[in-house]
Structure 1
Amino acid sequence: MSNNKLAFSKINYIIMLAGVAVLMLGFFIMTQDTEPYGFGTLGLTLGPIVVVLGFVIEFVAILYKGKKEE
């Protein structure tokens, strides 16, 4: 009963870390907006697009199945 199989493989965790890095980058981009209340291009357009891309990467990391080893 000592079958210590993880839920995800190593590549899944690497993709998840990349997704977290993209999410952090998106939130950082939103903080760099100089317009009041974040109504500039960085706060309303570029930052949210990068954040959504980060969530898409996380979704892919959860659903990714590697090649089966025979």
Structure 2
Amino acid sequence: MALRETKPSAGKPAPSVKTAEKPVNTVPVQFVFGRDNYIWLVISIAIVAFGFVLMSGTTDIYSTTKIVIAPIVVLAGFGLGFYAILKKPATKP
């Protein structure tokens, strides 16, 4: 069964459907985190990535950089990430 398209008659315009327009209450979108939180989060991700790069380091397994410094840098990055998540966004006066 084929469907046929019907053309509106030339004499009468097609009836327009009027919808009841209700006033729209616009509420600004509130994000969970503020801009500062996202900046701190990106910085913490970069610090963690840098710590892992330090861990890959040279072929020396017992390097001070691999054993001591890199884990401290990674943990500092994770700590900064927790700070970024828990920091309350600044409220605008």
The answer to whether the superposition gives a TM-score over 0.5 is: yes
Q: TM-score range by the shorter chain?
A: 0.7 to 0.9
Percent identity over the alignment is: 31
Query: Which of 43, 52, 56 is the equivalent residue of 2:75?
Result: 52
TM-score normalised by L of structure 2:
0.65
Tell me which structure has the larger Cα radius of gyration. 2
**Distance across 1 between alignment mates of 2:68 and 2:58:** 11
Q: Which stretches in structure 1 are left out of the alignment for 5+ residues?
A: none
Count, aligned residues: 68
Q: Assess if the C-alpha contact under 8 Å between 2:34 and 2:90 holds in 1.
A: no
Contact map agreement 1:33 1:41 (CA 8 A) in 2: no
How far did residue 61 of structure 1 move? 0.1
Q: What TM-score, normalized by structure 1, do the two folds share?
A: 0.84
Which of residues 37, 52, 60 in structure 2 aligns to 1:12? 37
Give the gaps of 5 or more residues in structure 2: 1-24
